[in-house]
């Protein structure tokens, strides 16, 4: 199975998004969503990264995490899955303008 590597950017983004949801949803729900994100990446996407095709412009796979408001953007090879970004599904981010090189490792 592939190893999973998270960029500093992806970890920081997820931490900030979860912190923003804490006042509204509480610690139990936030922890549940955090665990769901990591479980999906580590136990599903690491095994089946080609579930979706890469974005035509970015070259990254964009995967919506079920039962969460999050998208993960990643690339992969036979040895490793690299998570570059974690974004909100409805954030209105123009993905075509996102630069994969801007992810900090």
Q: Name the E strands within the chain.
A: 3-6, 61-64, 70-76, 80-88
Tokens 């912190």 identify what position? 19
* Residue 11 to residue 38: CA distance in whole angstroms: 10
* Residue 51 to residue 99: CA distance in whole angstroms: 22
Q: Is 67 left (phi over 0), alpha (psi -120 to 50) or beta?
A: left
Which pLDDT does position 93 carry in this prediction?
63
* Residue 92 to residue 94: CA distance in whole angstroms: 6
- Which residues have a Cβ under 8 Å from the Cβ of 79 and sit 6 or more positions away? 2, 3
- Mean pLDDT, the chain cut into blocks of 10 residues (105 residues total): 95 97 96 98 97 92 96 97 94 76 95
| CA–CA distances in Å: residue 66 to residues 8, 43, 57, 104 | 23, 14, 24, 26
- Cβ-based neighbour number of residue 65 at 10 Å: 20
pTM of the model: 0.93
Which pLDDT does position 92 carry in this prediction?
61
């Amino acid at each position: 199975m592939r190893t999973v590597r998270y960029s500093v950017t992806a970890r920081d983004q997820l931490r900030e998004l979860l912190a923003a949801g804490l006042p509204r949803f509480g610690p139990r729900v936030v922890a549940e969503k955090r665990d769901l994100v990591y479980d999906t990446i580590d136990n599903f996407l690491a095994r089946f990264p080609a579930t979706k095709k890469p974005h035509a412009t970015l070259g990254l796979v964009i995967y919506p995490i079920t039962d969460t408001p999050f998208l993960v953007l990643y690339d992969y090879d036979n040895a490793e899955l690299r998570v570059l970004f974690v974004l909100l599904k409805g954030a209105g981010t123009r993905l075509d303008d996102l630069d994969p090189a801007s992810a900090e490792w």
